Structure 1
Amino acid sequence: MKKLQRLGLAEQIPESRIGCSVVLNPFADLYILKADNTAIERCGLCVLDGSWSNPGRLERAVYRKQRKLPTLLAANPVNYGKPNILSSAEAVCAALYITGYTELAERVMSKFNWGHSFLSLNAAPLAEYAAAESLEQLQTIMESYF
């Protein structure tokens, strides 16, 4: 996230300012869907950096609009090919893509040498997740890939 901050694509905010933002949390009950784009447009998208290194913090977190990502494969050099262990940048990209902000998602990934790999590795599931109208559809799509 530091790189995205330096490039003006993200900003660090205190937790007290999260408000109505859509918060990416791997322990949330609900998956992100394209219908969440309204909340993202109005209030923003929030990722808690370092969430994989301190998962207990997120298990206890209480935010108004928490969403988890459907299964995707990491393409970052540390966790390449591992399901659901995404970098913060990959998580932001996936959430943006699924909610219809594909150009912004591609712009985020273009800032990383391996960014194109994330989009190509997950191209088919991302496209189908973005088209899902309901949680049931999203789960069916996820099961067909993973």
Structure 2
Amino acid sequence: MELHVRYEGNDDPEKCTARRLAKFDEAALHRSTRATPPGIVLNPFAERALSPADSDESRLVALDCSWETAEAEAFDLAGSQRSLPFLVASNPINYGTAFQLNTVEAFAGALCILGERTQAERVLSHFSWGQTFLDLNEEPLKRYADCADSSDVIAIQDEYLAD
């Protein structure tokens, strides 16, 4: 699956997972909205959750920006807008925080849900904490990947949020 990033460039370049993905030819960075191709846009403000029903798409698009400046308008990119369900960050900055994923974690979570686990493992392999993301989220990722559609994903997410 192609990975594309609308790159804002407002984070520390040394900690930017999108830049590292581009360095290893895992993702393409785009400096403008117009240059960013359409696909499944990973948008935390989207009303519909990503599910295996979205697996017919061949492209994932993420916005790489600071959580402090992330606003719904910034995710106005062409394509199907989808939010990721409950997942826990493993990166050193947001470790253990639900829904606060960095770019590579968002891509990896989406890839697992869409049945592309091998690609998720590959993109995470460029980070010392990458395998930890899969370990922390092993059960929910497997359960989300077994869902039929977005409503099933939300039902499973609600179980995690109720605990």
TM-score between both structures, scaled by the size of structure 2: 0.81
Which is richer in helix?
1
- The answer (yes or no) to whether the contact 1:23–1:65 under 8 Å persists in 2 is yes
Matching residue of 1:61: 76
Q: Does 2:19 correspond to 1:2?
A: yes
Task: For structure 2, list consecutive stretches of 5 or more residues without a partner in the other structure.
Answer: 1-17
- The answer (yes or no) to whether the contact 1:25–1:58 under 8 Å persists in 2 is no
What are the Cα deviations for residues 80-131 of structure 1, in whole angstroms up to 9, with x where unaligned?
Answer: 0000000111000001110111100011111100001100000000000011
Quote the RMSD (CA, aligned, Å).
1.6
Matching residue of 1:15: 33
Map residues 41-60 of structure 1 onto 2, 5 A cutoff. Answer: 41=58, 44-50=59-65, 52-56=67-71, 58=73
Matching residue of 1:134: 149
Task: For structure 1, list consecutive stretches of 5 or more residues without a partner in the other structure.
Answer: none
Cα distance, 1:29–1:59 mapped onto 2, change above 3 Å: farther
Which is richer in strand?
2
Cα distance, 1:58–1:113 mapped onto 2, change above 3 Å: farther
- The answer (yes or no) to whether the contact 2:143–2:156 under 8 Å persists in 1 is yes
Q: How many residues align?
A: 143
TM-score between both structures, scaled by the size of structure 1: 0.90
- The answer (yes or no) to whether the contact 1:20–1:64 under 8 Å persists in 2 is yes
* Letter paired with 1:93: A
Q: Give me the identity figure in percent.
A: 36
Q: Does 2:109 correspond to 1:109?
A: no
